[in-house]
Amino acid sequence: VDEAENTREEERLLALIARQVAGSIRTGLLFEQTQELALTDSLTGLPNSRYMFIAFDQESARARLQGTALTMLLMNIDNFSEINEDFGHHAGDRFLVGMAKAVRLQLRVCDTCIRYAGDEFVALLPGVAGSEVDLVIERITEAARDYCLEARPGRPVRLSLSIGHATTPGDGDDFESLMAAAGARMDRQKAGHRQTGQKRKAHRSQASIDSGRH
């Protein structure tokens, strides 16, 4: 009888321990999921701006330790507001998701691609400098140009990206310096894209006038 009671007591004790362990595991998993959600953009699935500062601190520290470069890309979708105005925010969200995927596919596994804010993305490229930066920007630019969203049946939408870059140590060592340098280059490229777009519109308008005369 004593042996049977001891067995039942051991079973109760094991069951109690199992419940406590299961509860601890669930709590740990929920904590990890909460942390992941806090650092992830809910729309695109990319890391968000909170994670960007964590990643930058880690990558810049590694770059200093190893004596290697770290490049930051700042990317902004040209004329993105036109999608929201013409087709609504749902179409704008779909475009952001597709563009985020198009950009991420052009980067390495070790690179970090972040949705910074609104229609802006940031990429951190460890060990990339000089002509390699130009090649990455060229790949991303082409991928962005090729991406097309059918906002409505028969209404395809394509938009370009303006991209600025900054590399340690030449453009600075801290986040603010790199962001300022990349932002200035991105703004210059965006101004160039705007001028090109205006020239195209003027050319189309003139062509329409000329055809009307005939």
Amino acid letter, residue 17: I
- The total of other beta-carbon atoms located within 10 Å of residue 206's CB is 10
Are 140 and 163 in contact by the 8 Å Cβ rule? The answer is yes
Task: For residue 119, indicate whether it is catalytic.
Answer: yes
Q: Please give the torsion angle defined by the CA atoms of residues 87, 92, 94 and 97, in that order, rounded to the nearest 10 degrees.
A: 160
Q: Which of 93, 119, 187, 210 is catalytic?
A: 119
* Element of type H or E holding 155: strand 155-157
Please give the biggest Cα pair distance in the chain: 111
Active site residues: 119
